[in-house]
Structure 1
Amino acid sequence: MSTMAIVGAGPGLGAAVARRFGREGYDVALVARDRERLQVLVGELADDGVAARGFAADVRRPEQLVAALKDAAGVLGTIEVLQYSPVPHRDFMRPVLETRHRDLLGPIEFSVYGPVAAVQQVLPGMRALGRGTILFVNGGTAAVPHPERAGTSIAFAAESAYGHLLHDRLAPEGIHVAQLVIPGAITPGHVRKDPAVLADTLWGMHRDRHGFRHYADNLDA
């Protein structure tokens, strides 16, 4: 049985991705801060026939994230697919001229320290399997910085650079690293940004293993 871990799992995109990969036979580890909400989501997924377990961790505390992913692998098996897709805090999105150095600590913890800690935890298992996929999900400021959203613009750029470096270095080992940029909001019913549609896109990125950066929609959408 294969295992996927979704960091930042919630009732929207996270649940849709869990259902999509669950249909393909994956067990799913759901990682998020709120333990009670995780258990509700686990129950809803079980009703849909998806084998999922919840593991509580704050992505801004790398030691918690590492422990959660370690526990997930112990319970469900080696993590073959990692998705890093927590939703940034609203207070990360300050205008650039009002952003002080202290204001960047949260975004950097969220979008750099968290991904690095997660990847370093799951990478040995992927290498042992001889295969794996790492999926980064970011908003549009990962591709085009926005002067009113300085925190995510700066931190997503760093996360993107890290992911691209991993893509180039890990491809020869059978480990595919890719990024999905979602401009604007995830929107139920949208032809390209509905959670189920995005989940299909992420499944295709894992299956097809082509290129690093992919776009869910036009950047001006």
Structure 2
Amino acid sequence: MTTFALVGAGAGLGLATARRFGSAGHTVALISRNNQHLDDLTAELTRDGIQARGFTADVLDIESLDAALYAAGTSLGTIEILQYSPVPRGDFMKPVLDTSADDLDAPLGFSVKGPVTCVNAVLPGMRELGRGTLLFVNGSSAVRPNPNVAGTSVAFAAESAYARMLHDTLAPENIHAAQLIIPGAIRPDAEHSNPEALAQRLYDMHDKRDGFRHYSEPLPD
């Protein structure tokens, strides 16, 4: 049995995606910096008959992130699918003219160093399996820079470039990298951007392996 590792586990999209991959037979590794949050999510998945375990890490702390993924792979099974979808902090979203060079340190750590750490941690196991999936979830500023949220616009664009390079480089090894862009808010009443619909979309990206970038909704004009 292989593992679905979710970096940025939350009660909305994270829980829905963990449930979808867990119901397909994968063990689930939930990674978050909040222990109580992890306990609650793990208990809910366990009630659904899904084998899940939480691992504490902060995506801005490379050592803790690397340790969490190592522990997940050794205790639950090789990580076959990685989803990187932590929610950016509010202080990443300053207007462009109010953004200093120092203001970009945390967003770039969050959206570039975090993903690079995760991929380097799981790639050996995927290569040993002979297959794998790397899923990246971003907002619209990843493809359409927004001067009101300069930090995420810069950092998401860098994450997109990294993920695209992975897609092109790893495809011959049967390791699929793909990105899902969610232009607006995730809402229970949204037809295509509710947690369950997005979870199914991410599962389909893993299963069908049809291209790099996907959109939950068209970008607004």
TM-score (norm 1): 0.99
Distance of 1:104 and 1:71 partners within structure 2: 30
1:108-149 deviation per Cα after TM superposition (whole angstroms, max 9, x unaligned):
010000000000000000001000000000011001000100
Q: 1:36-91, CA deviations, whole angstroms, 9 ceiling, x for partnerless residues?
A: 11011100111111111000000001111000000000110110000000000011
- 1:109 is aligned with what amino acid? G
Could you say which residue in structure 2 is the equivalent of 1:54? 54
Aligned partner of 2:178 in structure 1 is 178
Distance in structure 2 (CA, Å) of the matches to 1:219 and 1:64: 35
* Partner secondary structure for residue 71 of structure 2: helix
The aligned residue for residue 213 of structure 1 is: 213
Q: Please report how far the alpha carbon of residue 201 of structure 1 lies from its aligned counterpart in structure 2 after TM superposition.
A: 0.2
- TM-superposed CA distance for 1:219, in Å, is 1.1
Query: C-alpha distance in 2, partners of 1:182/1:38?
Result: 24
When the two chains are superposed, the root-mean-square deviation of aligned CA atoms in Å is 0.8
Secondary structure at the aligned position of 1:80 is classed as strand
Q: Distance in 2 between matches of 1:148 and 1:192?
A: 25
Alignment of 1:132-211 (within 5 A): 132-211=132-211
Matched, 1:97 2:107: no
Structure 2 distance, partners of 1:128, 1:22, is: 22
Q: How many residues align?
A: 221
- Segments of 4+ in structure 1 off by > 4 A? none
Secondary structure in structure 2 of the residue aligned to 1:133: strand
Helix, strand or coil for the counterpart of 2:80? Answer: strand
Secondary structure class of the residue paired with 1:162: helix
Alpha-carbon offset, residue 23 of structure 1: 1.0
Q: Which amino acid aligns with 1:210?
A: D
Which runs of 5 or more residues in structure 1 are unaligned?
none
Indicate the SS of the match to 1:64.
Answer: helix
Write out aligned runs for 1:65-80 (5 A).
Answer: 65-80=65-80
Separation (CA, whole Å) in 2 of partners of 1:184 and 1:110: 20
Question: 2:63 is matched with which residue?
Answer: 63
Deviation at 1:160, TM superposition (A): 0.2
| Aligned residues with identical type, % of pairs | 59
Distance, in Å, in 2 between the alignment partners of 1:114 and 1:62 is: 7
Aligned counterpart, 2:24? 24
2-structure distance, mates of 1:185, 1:87: 12
| Matched AA of 2:155 | A
| Ranges in structure 2 where 5+ consecutive residues have no aligned partner | none
- Normalised TM-score (structure 2): 0.99
> SS of the counterpart of 1:144?
coil
How far apart are the structure 2 equivalents of 1:204 and 1:123? 21
1:116-131 pair list within 5 angstroms: 116-131=116-131
Q: Does 1:107 align with 2:107?
A: yes
Write the letter of the residue equivalent to 1:132: G
Measure the CA separation in 2 of the matches of 1:140 and 1:184: 7
CA distance, structure 1, for counterparts of residue 75 and residue 11 of structure 2? 22
What is the DSSP-based 3-state SS (H/G/I as helix, E as strand, rest coil) of the residue aligned with 1:30? strand
